[in-house]
Amino acid sequence: MSEQTETESPGSRTGDARPLGLTLLSGAVAAAMVFPLTWLVFRASSVDFDRAYGIVVRPRTAEILGNSLLLMVGVTVLSLCIAVPLAVLTVRTDIPYRRFWTVVIALPLAIPSYIGAFAFVSAFRPKGIVQGWLEPVGVTELPSIYGLHGATVIIALYTYPYIYITTRAALLRMDTSLVDAARTLNHDRLGTFYRVTLPQIRPAIAAGGLLVALYAVSDFGTPAFLQADVYTRQIFLEHRSLGGADYAAFLSLQLVVVTAFVLAVESRVRGDETIHTDSAGSGSDDRIRLGWTKYPAMGVCALLGFATLVMPVIIYLSWLATSQTDVPESFQFSWVFVWNSVYVAGFAAVCAALLALPVAYLAARHDSLTGHLFERATYIGFAIPGIVIGLALVYFGANYGSFDLGPVTVGVYQSIPILVFAYVVRFIPQSVGSTRTAVLQVNPKLDEAARTLGYGRLETFRNVTFPLIAPGVVAGAALVFLTTMKELPATLLLRPTGFETLVTRIWAAESAGLYGYAAIPALILIVVSGLSLVIILRQEDI
Fold for the domain defined by 62-271: MetI-like fold (1.10.3720)
pTM above 0.85, yes or no: no
Q: Please state, in angstroms and rounded to a whole number, the distance separating the CA atoms of residues 405 and 434.
A: 39
Angle between helix axes 519-539 and 98-106 (nearest 10 degrees) is 130
Beta-carbon contacts of residue 357 (< 8 Å; ≥ 6 apart)? 435, 473
Predicted confidence (pLDDT) at residue 463 exceeds the cutoff of 80: no
Which among 387, 367, 383 has a CA at the least distance from the CA of 430?
Answer: 383
Q: Please state, in angstroms and rounded to a whole number, the distance separating the CA atoms of residues 463 and 275.
A: 39
Task: Identify the CATH class of 17-57+323-542.
Answer: mainly alpha
In this prediction, residue 73 carries a pLDDT of: 94
Angle between helix axes 20-45 and 386-400 (nearest 10 degrees) is 80
User: Which whole number is the average pLDDT over 228-233?
Assistant: 90
Q: Please state, in angstroms and rounded to a whole number, the distance separating the CA atoms of residues 537 and 166.
A: 11
Residue type, position 50, single letter: D
Phi/psi-derived region of residue 26, left when phi > 0, alpha when psi is between -120 and 50, beta in every other case: alpha
Q: What are the beta bridge partners of residue 288?
A: 93
146-197: per-residue pLDDT in tens? 899 999 999 999 999 889 988 887 777 766 666 656 566 555 566 666 666 6
* DSSP code at position 7: T
**Are 17-57+323-542 and 62-271 equal in CATH topology?**
yes
Check if the beta carbon of residue 151 is closer than 8 Å to that of residue 223.
yes
User: Which whole number is the average pLDDT over 498-517?
Assistant: 84
Q: Please state, in angstroms and rounded to a whole number, the distance separating the CA atoms of residues 94 and 291.
A: 9
H or E element at residue 520: helix 519-539
In this prediction, residue 419 carries a pLDDT of: 93
Q: What angle do CA 537, 538, 542 make, to 5 degrees?
A: 55
In this prediction, residue 15 carries a pLDDT of: 46
In our burial notation (b when 16+ CB lie closer than 10 A, e otherwise), range 207-245 reads bbbbbbbbbbbbbbbbbbbbebbbbbbbbbebbeeeeeb
340-352: per-residue pLDDT in tens? 999 999 999 999 9
130-151: per-residue pLDDT in tens? 777 777 777 777 788 889 999 9
SS3 (DSSP) at 410: strand
Annotated domain spans of the chain: 17-57+323-542, 62-271
In this prediction, residue 274 carries a pLDDT of: 47
Q: Please state, in angstroms and rounded to a whole number, the distance separating the CA atoms of residues 308 and 312.
A: 7
Residue type, position 32, single letter: A
H or E element at residue 392: helix 386-400
Predicted confidence (pLDDT) at residue 5 exceeds the cutoff of 60: no
In this prediction, residue 205 carries a pLDDT of: 83
246-293: per-residue pLDDT in tens? 778 888 888 888 888 887 777 676 655 444 444 445 445 567 777 788
Which among 367, 369, 382, 366 has a CA at the least distance from the CA of 433?
Answer: 382
In this prediction, residue 348 carries a pLDDT of: 94
* Count of CA atoms in the C-beta half-sphere (13 A) of 265: 16
What mean pLDDT value characterizes the chain? 79
Which among 168, 17, 43 has a CA at the least distance from the CA of 106?
Answer: 168
